Amino acid sequence: MPADSEESELYRRAGLKPDFVRRIVATPNDSIWIPSRYELLHEDVLTR
């Protein structure tokens, strides 16, 4: 299984939504994506 598939599966098992997981794994290794508070709330990563 490719590394990004394994990573995606771990995130999905942790309960992250598929679109959020896709954004995480689509971010290049030499970059960083910092989700906004709105994105974290919308994706149920934060609850308040």
* Residue 32 lies inside a defined structural domain of this protein: yes
List per-block mean pLDDT (blocks of 10 residues) for the chain, which spans 48 residues. Answer: 79 93 92 95 89
Q: What is the pLDDT of residue 4?
A: 74
Round to whole Å and give the CA distance between 29 and 14: 21
Report the number of distinct structural domains present in the chain.
Answer: 1
* Residue 27 lies inside a defined structural domain of this protein: yes
Q: Which domain holds residue 25?
A: 3-42
* Residue 48 lies inside a defined structural domain of this protein: no
**CB-side neighbour CA atoms (13 Å) of 12:** 10
Model-level pTM?
Answer: 0.76
* Residue 47 lies inside a defined structural domain of this protein: no
DSSP 1-48: --HHHHHHHHHHHTT--HHHHHHHHHS-TTS-----HHHHHHTTS---
